[in-house]
Amino acid sequence: KGGIHYINKEQPDILTLQETKCSEKKLPPEVKVPGYHTYWLGSEKEGYAGVALYTKEKPVDIKYGIGDKSFDKEGRLITAEYEKFYLVATYVVNAGQGLKTLDRKIEWNKLFEEYLKNLDTKKPVILTGDMNVAHKEIDLKNPKTNQKSAGFTPEEREGMTSLLGQGFVDTYRHFNPDKEGAYTFWTYMNNARAKNTGWRLDYFIVSERFLPAVCDNVIREKVLGSDHCPITLFLHL
């Protein structure tokens, strides 16, 4: 809601969208924004997952998926190659109600980590998207009562720890290591957003050697229209 107005006002060089829930052939014409090359990857399942990329500069190359058919049919990842880096836009598997898809998420995390490590041998990587995990206790309002909730299980958190251990950096925590109350998602229930009862599920993660090009990572918590808010990465290239 209000997304096109936000794009026109913010004028990002690159914009990614997650959980688009729409195939490209069913997109309304107003989502085509002048001045942007657009790339969409939908799920074979209607109304589920999906990612998109808007970019002012045409990428050197575009790749859809992670190379695994069972995940790629869900529309989870677009990789755009630019001259100096890879941009990976993703919507990570949710562990699900009752953790019914936790095993599948663990499988995804292993494949995903290997995919990113391989890219990183060629060029630095910028990873962005809904990672569906709050990494540390500081990254959600109520850590004590969510130990067995999707997005904060030990297995999911370990998946993020493992990824960051491969030479990648969570840019928000790089700039704000101790900042509390910084969230990107609030459930629609129980007036959570007004109370700031949230989770930080959305990330910009970069190759460690790319950090000198990163100026800041800003959470746009005042931007409404979704249960998530936008996040912005500022680069000096």
Tens of pLDDT along 135-188?
Answer: 999 999 999 999 999 999 999 999 999 999 999 999 999 999 999 999 999 999
| Residue 208 predicted with pLDDT over 70 | yes
Q: Is 130 a catalytic residue?
A: yes
Q: Which pLDDT does position 226 carry in this prediction?
A: 93
Q: Is 130 annotated as a binding residue?
A: yes
Q: Is 91 a catalytic residue?
A: yes
Q: Which pLDDT does position 1 carry in this prediction?
A: 62
Q: Is 72 a catalytic residue?
A: no
What is the three-state SS of the chain?
Answer: CCHHHHHHHHCCCEEEEECCCCCHHHCCHHHCCCCCEEEEECCCCCCCCCEEEEECCCCCEEEECCCCHHHHCCCCEEEEECCCCEEEEEECCCCCHHHCCHHHHHHHHHHHHHHHHHHHCCCCEEEEEECCCCCCHHHECCCHHHCCCCCCCHHHHHHHHHHHCCCEEEHHHHHCCCCCCCCCECCCHHHHHHHCCCECCEEEEEEHHHHHHEEEEEECCCCCCCCECCEEEEECC
Q: Which pLDDT does position 6 carry in this prediction?
A: 84
Q: Is 103 annotated as a binding residue?
A: no
Tell which residue, 40, 33, 39, has the closest CA to residue 58.
39
Average pLDDT over every residue of 3-13? 87
This prediction has a pTM of 0.95
Q: Is 228 annotated as a binding residue?
A: yes
Q: Is 227 annotated as a binding residue?
A: yes
The pLDDT-based confidence of 3 (bands split at 50, 70, 90) is confident
* Fold that domain 3-235 belongs to in CATH: Deoxyribonuclease I; Chain A (3.60.10)
Q: Is 109 annotated as a binding residue?
A: no
Average pLDDT over every residue of 92-106? 96
What residue spans define the domains of the chain? Answer: 3-235
Catalytic residue among 39, 54, 91, 183: 91
Q: Which pLDDT does position 49 carry in this prediction?
A: 84
Average pLDDT over every residue of 192-221? 98
Query: What are the pLDDT digits (tens) for 10-69?
Result: 899 999 999 877 777 677 777 788 899 999 998 788 777 889 999 999 999 999 999 999
